[in-house]
Structure 1
Amino acid sequence: MDTPVSETLRRLDAQIEAQNLDRQTVLNSHMLAGLTSLPEDTVTALLHGECVPELDFNDRVLSRIRAFVARHRADANKSETQLTREVQAALHLSRPWARSIIRGEKVPNSKTLHELAVYFELDGQETYFTSPAADALNRALQRILLRYEPPERDPLEALMERYGVLGSDMRVHGSASGIASKEQLAALLEGVFKSVIPPKHGGPDR
């Protein structure tokens, strides 16, 4: 991910402080472990800014599959046989192969792993199973951040405010809705640009 987990946590902590939120509620290790299929102690360590040992690829995938299946079966109240049947039909696998996958006994090939993630509608698709622990947690934290961090301002709105252009100023020829066409918007922006950017020497407008 472009934004590291440390930066996501910093921004979340800023919102927690600004909005007087309970950090243990927003960043609940048990909840995050369920969302990511990571061990809870791994999540806790990462939330405290600690480094965690990384499993090799195969062990990582199998561990995540086992954790996800256990949670899914508990939430959906499904037996192993029932889930095996569903995965077998959805992914067009043999019964033994489907059973070995949901038991976390064998690492699926990339195509099957992708189809498994798509079937269960997992965030990040196959990277849900393959991402390093910090990236997997970061993906879940980014979604939480969206709930609390104000969205970025619209750049046009910010530009208008910077130069004192109000909604009432944008009403053209009695139009109650403001700018009525792209051409009018372009004319407005051209006027703004001309007022703040000097013409180039040697240009046609000198």
Structure 2
Amino acid sequence: MSEFPAPLRETLSRIAEQDLALDAEGLSRRTGISVQHIQTLLDGGELTDEDVDTRIRERLQFLCRQRLAESGRTYRDREAVAALTKDIASAIGVSSVWARQLVSGEKTPSMKHGHELTRYFGVPDGFLTETPAAALNRTLQSHLQNESGAGGSPADPLAELKSRFGLVGISRRGEPLSRDEAARFAGLIAEVLEQNMEADS
């Protein structure tokens, strides 16, 4: 068992002081950690230490599922998985065979490729390797910052979208978006995600 980390304890204390509501399922979608483990950490419990390679492979598969879900696809859609695999291979400079093994969870990426994968998926450095407690603490810190800035400058439409649907990241190419463009872009994504949620219900 790993000792309950002080940074997470302090963050949870700040959240309790501000009486902020937490959604274990939403936190799970943003961290790649199971709802059960999220709840254990929120309750002050400890988790059994896990193998780092296993953690990396599971987090990578989580990111792949998230990326497929953005277009209403799943791992069962071979064409979509093949397209994602090809895109990843091109993005991080590996063969299609190696990328396929990464996507399927058969192989663990090197440190270099792990960094390139976090850039590709638009998630923070260390997302693939950080412990569940560290991942939860990072996400809760972001939650606190969003809440403390609620009365300040206009909210980021893409940040609101990620918070609303529990997205880890939103990856796009091209020039930076203006606030109006970001709002329209977020609206289109929200519409697609809402339709997918209705279809699944």
The alpha carbon displacement at 1:147 in A equals 1.9
Aligned with 2:53 (options 31, 45, 58): 58
Which residue in the other structure is 2:34 paired with?
39
Which residue in the other structure is 1:158 paired with?
none
Amino acid at match of 1:90: A
Is the Cα–Cα contact under 8 Å of residues 54 and 133 in structure 1 kept in the other structure? no
The secondary structure found in structure 2 opposite 1:148 is: helix
Amino acid at match of 1:81: A
The alpha carbon displacement at 1:119 in A equals 1.1
The secondary structure found in structure 1 opposite 2:128 is: helix
The alpha carbon displacement at 1:76 in A equals 2.9
Residue 11 of structure 2 is aligned to residue 8 of structure 1: yes
CA–CA distance in 2 between the matches of 1:118 and 1:62?
Answer: 16
CA–CA distance in 2 between the matches of 1:119 and 1:3?
Answer: 31
Residue 110 of structure 2 is aligned to residue 109 of structure 1: yes
Which residue in the other structure is 2:127 paired with?
128
Runs of 4+ in 1 over 4 A off after TM superposition: none
Amino acid at match of 2:106: E
What's the TM-score once normalised by structure 1's chain length?
0.64
The alpha carbon displacement at 1:98 in A equals 0.7
The alpha carbon displacement at 1:54 in A equals 2.3
CA–CA distance in 2 between the matches of 1:148 and 1:15?
Answer: 10
Which runs of no fewer than 5 residues in structure 1 stay unpaired?
152-206
Describe the superposition over 1:113-169 as per-residue Cα deviations: whole angstroms up to 9, x where unpaired.
00000111102x2x1010111001101000001022379xxxxxxxxxxxxxxxxxx
Aligned with 2:25 (options 18, 22, 30): 30
Which residue in the other structure is 1:143 paired with?
142
How many matched pairs?
Answer: 140
Is the Cα–Cα contact under 8 Å of residues 61 and 105 in structure 2 kept in the other structure? yes
The alpha carbon displacement at 1:3 in A equals 6.3
Residue 76 of structure 2 is aligned to residue 96 of structure 1: no
Is the Cα–Cα contact under 8 Å of residues 32 and 137 in structure 1 kept in the other structure? yes
Which residue in the other structure is 1:178 paired with?
none
The secondary structure found in structure 1 opposite 2:127 is: helix
Taking a change above 3 Å as real, the CA distance of residues 131 and 99 of structure 1, as seen in their structure-2 partners, is same
Over the matched positions of the two proteins, sequence identity in percent amounts to 31
CA–CA distance in 2 between the matches of 1:138 and 1:31?
Answer: 14
The secondary structure found in structure 2 opposite 1:105 is: coil
Amino acid at match of 1:136: A
The alpha carbon displacement at 1:13 in A equals 1.2
User: Which moves more between the two structures, 57-66 or 106-115?
Assistant: 57-66
The alpha carbon displacement at 1:63 in A equals 1.3
What's the TM-score once normalised by structure 2's chain length?
0.65
Which runs of no fewer than 5 residues in structure 2 stay unpaired?
74-79, 151-201
